[in-house]
Chains A and B, each alone.
Chain A
Amino acid sequence: GEDVEQSLFLSVREGDSSVINCTYTDSSSTYLYWYKQEPGAGLQLLTYIFSNMDMKQDQRLTVLLNKKDKHLSLRIADTQTGDSAIYFCAETPGYGGSQGNLIFGKGTKLSVKP
């Protein structure tokens, strides 16, 4: 079945790097996404990666994809207190649904300590 797994909590110190990990089960997923949810706000798309890529970098964010192991990670360099939020990993369903028909993990709550 379709399943996306994430650790629930991560705590880092300001200035350190954060690495949030995610595993998924659907090998036919074409896109994988990272969303961020700040307190009281909706989900914000941070970045996405196409399944034929293994890395994508966007400023402080680096996404690594290991398709063989079905493992996705999000690295945040120089983590700031404003990065404190819940980070959701998501994949497109294997039947080729649109970007909105996503399968989400439970979310990783990132706490950044000053």
Chain B
Amino acid sequence: GAVVSQHPSWVICKSGTSVKIECRSLDFQATTMFWYRQFPKQSLMLMATSNEGSKATYEQGVEKDKFLINHASLTLSTLTVTSAHPEDSSFYICSARTGPNYGYTFGSGTRLTVV
């Protein structure tokens, strides 16, 4: 089945630094990837839709300058949390879909802790 590889699985960084999270579709091409944020025991909140070769589409309330998304190839999308602060600590997950008749495949997620 389809596999989405997400790295790193966890990261601890200092306030003010930037963190890059990568998502790769390993055995399929993903023109669109989705980035979610999940707080403990809560649902997935869609942050943005990453589109290969074009600008990402951000959901209302998500700062595009804070969460930089790049989708430079059909198999790689990156999310960079810039100037991270403790309130950015969360579980970030990406997902992609192989086609309209298939479910979404999620990456394993990245647990970000900002200290």
A binds B: no
